[in-house]
């Protein structure tokens, strides 16, 4: 492959950058999967901690809608929070439970999840280019025996690239409209959306939505 040729010539800059990107991708994966996605604290924890984060003002969509108590973990749910059956906790600004990271994507780790997907996409695209550069197709059994691993790696990278690309695009679209995956999929079952006069009461325009999400 091109990367191997560069290493043999002593040109180590691009191989080093590629390795750093792979390491960053792995570190981001563990960070997103292990961090608190924004679990809703119990009233006792809030009183004990008095943290500023837990005393954030809840967005007012309708004066008729009040904080309800979760029927599973019995905590008071802020607006846009949802109980995750797999994590057995309520998550603030719940987006979805990701089986790939074995964790919820919520208020705290959603921006980092987008960064992880972006870095992962760059690694996959570069890895696909490296694998393709090492393939010189010949119609012979001997060629297939010597290149089967590289060919399978390339096909696998293509599949994962498509999945990550579609996932990243869908998330960026939802973020630009200030909507979570859960709200998008279950719009008619969510009281604060169903009873709202606006189709999306949280949408404040693409620029402001992106600014508030990432900054």
Flag residues of the chain having pLDDT under 50: 44, 48, 51-63
Q: How is residue 39 annotated by DSSP?
A: B
pLDDT at 195: 77
Q: How far apart are CA 149 and CA 166, in angstroms?
A: 26
Q: Which of 84, 87, 98, 215 is catalytic?
A: 98
pLDDT at 111: 95
pLDDT at 44: 47
φ/ψ of residue 144, rounded to 5: -65, -40
Q: How far apart are CA 77 and CA 80, in angstroms?
A: 8
**The tokens 């208020």 sit on which residue?**
107
Q: Give the domain ranges of the chain.
A: 2-37+105-214
- The verdict on whether 98 is a catalytic residue reads yes
pLDDT at 54: 44
pLDDT at 51: 47
* pTM attached to this predicted model: 0.81
Q: How far apart are CA 124 and CA 158, in angstroms?
A: 8
pLDDT at 58: 43
pLDDT at 24: 95
């Amino acid at each position: 492959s091109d990367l191997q040729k560069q290493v043999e010539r002593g040109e180590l800059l691009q191989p080093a950058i590629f390795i750093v990107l792979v390491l960053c991708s792995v570190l981001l994966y563990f960070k997103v999967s292990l961090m608190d996605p924004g679990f809703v604290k119990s009233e006792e924890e809030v009183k004990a901690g008095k943290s500023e984060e837990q005393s954030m003002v809840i967005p007012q969509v309708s004066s008729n809608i009040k904080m309800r108590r979760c029927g599973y973990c019995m905590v008071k749910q802020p607006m846009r929070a949802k109980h995750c059956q797999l994590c057995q906790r309520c998550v603030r600004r719940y987006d979805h439970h990701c089986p790939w990271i074995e964790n919820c994507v919520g208020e705290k780790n959603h921006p980092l999840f987008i960064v992880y997907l972006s870095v992962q996409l760059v690694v996959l695209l570069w890895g696909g280019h490296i694998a393709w550069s090492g393939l010189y197709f010949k119609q012979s059994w001997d060629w297939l025996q010597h290149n089967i691993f590289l060919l399978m790696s390339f096909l696998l990278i293509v599949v994962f690239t498509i999945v990550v690309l579609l996932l990243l695009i869908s998330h960026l679209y939802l973020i630009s409209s200030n909507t979570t995956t859960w709200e998008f999929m279950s719009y008619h079952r969510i009281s604060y959306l169903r009873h709202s006069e606006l189709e999306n009461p949280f949408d404040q325009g693409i620029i402001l939505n992106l600014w508030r999400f990432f900054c």
